[in-house]
Amino acid sequence: MRECREAGVSLPVRPYTRDSMLYRALVIVTAIGRRLPLRLARAFGSFLGRLAWHVARRERRKALANLKIAFPDPDVRPIARAMFRHLGITLMELTWLPNVTAANREETTVVEGMDKVLEVIDSGRGVIIFTAHCGNWEWLSYVTGLFGRPVSVLQRERDEPAMNRYITDLRARAGVKTIDRGTSSAARDMINAIRRGGILAFVLDQNIRTESIKVSFFGKPALTPIGPVTFAIRTEAVISCAFIERRADGKQYARFEQPIHCKRGDDPVALAAYITERTEAQIRRAPEQWVWMHDRWRERPKWEVDPASLQRR
Domain range list for the chain: 105-311
**CB-CB contact of 254 with 289 (8 Å):** no
Which H/E stretch holds residue 179?
strand 176-180
Tell me what pLDDT residue 181 has: 86
Q: Is the pTM of this model over 0.75?
A: yes
Query: CA torsion angle for 39, 41, 42, 48 (degrees, to 10)?
Result: 150
Give per-residue pLDDT as tens, 283-305: 999 999 999 999 999 999 999 99
**Each residue of 18-72: pLDDT tens digit?**
667 767 777 888 888 899 999 999 999 999 999 999 999 999 999 999 999 999 8
pLDDT attached to residue 10: 42
Q: Cα 175 from chain centroid?
A: 16
pLDDT band at 165 (very low <50, low <70, confident <90, very high): confident
Find the largest Cα–Cα distance for the chain.
73
Helices 57-70, 38-55: crossing angle, 10 deg rounding:
90
pLDDT digits (tens, 9 = 90+) for 103-138: 999 999 999 999 999 999 999 999 999 999 999 999
Q: Rounded CA gap, 295 and 63, in Å?
A: 9
Per-residue pLDDT, 72 = 84
